[in-house]
Amino acid sequence: MSSARDAGGHFPLHLLVWNNDYRQLERELRGQNVEALDPRGRTLLHLAVSLGHLESARVLLRHKADVTKENREGWTVLHEAVSTGDPEMVYTVLQHRDYHNTSMALEGVPELLQKILEAPDFYVQMKWEFTSWVPLVSRICPNDVCRIWKSGAKLRVDITLLGFENMSWIRGRRSFIFKGEDNWAELMEVNHDDKVVTTEHFDLSQEMERLTLDLMKPKGREVERRLTSPVINTSLDTKNIAFERTKSGFWGWRTDKAEVVNGYEAKVYTVNNVSVITKIRTEHLTEEEKKRYKADRNPLESLLGTVEHQFGAQGQDLTTECATANNPTAITPDEYFNEEFDLKDRDIGRPKELTIRTQKFKATLWMCEEFPLSLVEQVIPIIDLMARTSAHFARLRDFIKLEFPPGFPVKIEIPLFHVLNARITFGNVNGCSTAEETVSQNSEGTQADSASAVTNFEVDQSVFEIPESYHVQDNGRNVHLQDEDYEIMQFAIQQSLLESSRNQELSGPASNGGIGQTHAYDIQYERAIQESLLSSSEGLCPDASSETSRFDSDLQLAMELSAKELEERELQLRQEEAELQQVLQLSLTEK
C-alpha cells in the first residue's frame, strides 16, 4: 500500500479515484482542481469512468467535473461510459452531459443576441443544393432556399427542408422567429402548413434557475441504443489545410479561375488536405451486435473510399490473476502514475476494439471581396443560432469558422454527411423587406444593390408578426431530437447495397464491352435492386414500410433517368474529345 501511495504522491485525488475511495474523495475535493490531469492524460472523471467506479464518478459530477472533456485520444466521458457497458454509468453521464449542454446553450444566448443586435439589418437567401457521388442517391437529393430577415434583435428564418426520417426527406413550410433583448427572449416556430404557432417565452435567468438535473433524465431507449451501437467519434483534421486558387484553361494558358455568382465576381479556391477521421469502438457490443454492424457497413465501405486501420484488444497476454474487467492487464498504481514507465499497449478500461477510418475530401470556395454582407458580424451569429437545432447548419458552422482567404464566401461546396455534399449559395441581398413580396427565391439573378443600399435597408416589422388566422400554443417545446446522422447513414447503406450489385455486374465478363454493354444487364440490375431493397429495408428500417411505394416510384424514375444519363454522357464525352483534338491541332498549326 505504501508503494501505491508513493506512486500517487503527485496525484493524491487520482489515487483516491483509483481505489474508489469516494467518501474520502468527497472530503478532499473541496478547493481542489477537479480537472487536473494524471500522467496518462485523464481527468479525475475520465479515470473514474474508465475504471467503472460509479460512486466516484457521481461524487465528481456533483463537484461540477467537466463531462464534455476529452482525453488524450479524443474520447469524451460519455464515450468511455458506453465502453464500460454499464447502463447506470451511461445513464448518469448522459444526464449530466445533457444538463451541461443545455446550461451552456442558455448562457450563450445573451451574447449571441447582442451580436445580432449590433449587426446592420439585412435580408439574404441561402440556397442549399444537396448532391451525392453515389448513383441513385443523387437523383433524390433535395434542394432548399433558406430566407433570413434580420432587424435589430429580431430574426426570422424560413425553411422548407425539415430533416431526414424513415429513409425520406421531410418537407414543410416553417418559420423560426427569434425576438430578444438583455435576458429576455421569445422563440416562435410557425407551421404554415397547419397554421399553428408554437411559442416559448422565457427569462434566461429564470430558465437557468428552473433548469435541474431531473429535467434532463434520459429515456431508457436512448441508453439502450447507445449500449447496442458502436461508439463513433468523428473529427475534422484541418492542421494541414491549404487554400489554392482553382485554375482554368488549357495546359499552357491556365489562369486563376474567377466566376460571377449572383452578380458578384468571386475568386474560386480549392480546399485541400482536409480529412474526416472516424474512430469506431465496438468492445462493449455482443458478438451478434458486432456481426450485424459489420454486415451493415461493408457495402458502404467500398463506396466511401476510406483508408481503414483496425486494432484489436491489446495486451491480453499480460493478464494476471489480479486483473479486473476494467483493468484487464492488472496495471498497478506504481506503473500507472509513474510518468517514465512505458505501459506499451496496456491500458485501463476494457481492451479497445478500434477501427480508424480516414477519408480525404476537397471543398470549394467562391470568395468575393465586394459582397455587401459581413461574414463575422452578420452571418456567423445567425448560423450559430440555427446550428443549435439543425444538423446542416452545424456542419456549415464548423467549416465556415476556418480561416478563409479574404472576402465573403458567396458559394461554398462541402461534404455534409458520409455520401452527401452541400452547395450553399448566398444571394438576393436585401431583395425582400416583407414576407409577402414575390421576389425571386432561386438566389440566381443579378445584384443591382450597392453596398450603400445595404446600410439603408429596413425590414418591415410585419415580417415578425403572426397572421391572425393562425392558432398559437404558448409555452410548448417542439424539439426535434432525431439522430439525423444515423438516419442518413442507414439510407446510404441501403443505397450502397444497390450500387454494390451494379459493381458486381460491371466486374464480370459483361463489363468488357464498357458503356456500350449497359443495356445488356439492365434486367438483371433491376432484379438485384429490388432484392437488395427488400432485404436491406427489412434489416435496417423495419418501421419504413409506409414509405415503400413512394420510394419505389422514385427508384423507377431514377433508373430510367440513369439509363438516359449514360447515353447522354457517352455522347458528351465523344463531343468533348473531338473538340479537344481540334484545339490541339490548331495549337500545333499556330506553332
Amino acid at 318: L
The reported pLDDT for the residue numbered 155 is: 92
* The three cell numbers locating residue 315: 495486451
pLDDT over 70 for what percent of the chain?
67
H or E, element range at 472: strand 471-473
The reported pLDDT for the residue numbered 49 is: 98
Q: How far is CA 463 from CA 176, 179, 193, 323, 377, in A?
A: 11, 12, 17, 66, 22
Residues lower than pLDDT 50 in the chain: 1-2, 298-300, 302-305, 315-321, 438-453, 477-486, 489-490, 493, 496-497, 499-501, 504-549, 551-552, 587, 589-591
With a CB cutoff of 8 Å and minimum separation 6, the contacts of 314 are 345, 346, 347, 351, 352
CA distance 410 to 259: 11
Burial of residue 317 (CB within 10 Å: 0-12, 13-18, 19+) is exposed
The reported pLDDT for the residue numbered 307 is: 56
For the chain, the structural domain boundaries read 2-104, 485-590
Q: Which CATH number fits domain 2-104: 3.50.50.60, 3.40.50.150, 1.10.630.10, 1.25.40.20?
A: 1.25.40.20
CA distance 526 to 556: 9
The reported pLDDT for the residue numbered 448 is: 43
187, 388 Cβ separation under 8 angstroms: no
Report the 10 Å Cβ neighbour count for 134: 19
pLDDT digits (tens, 9 = 90+) for 152-171: 989 999 988 776 555 566 78
CA distance 282 to 285: 6
307, 447 Cβ separation under 8 angstroms: no
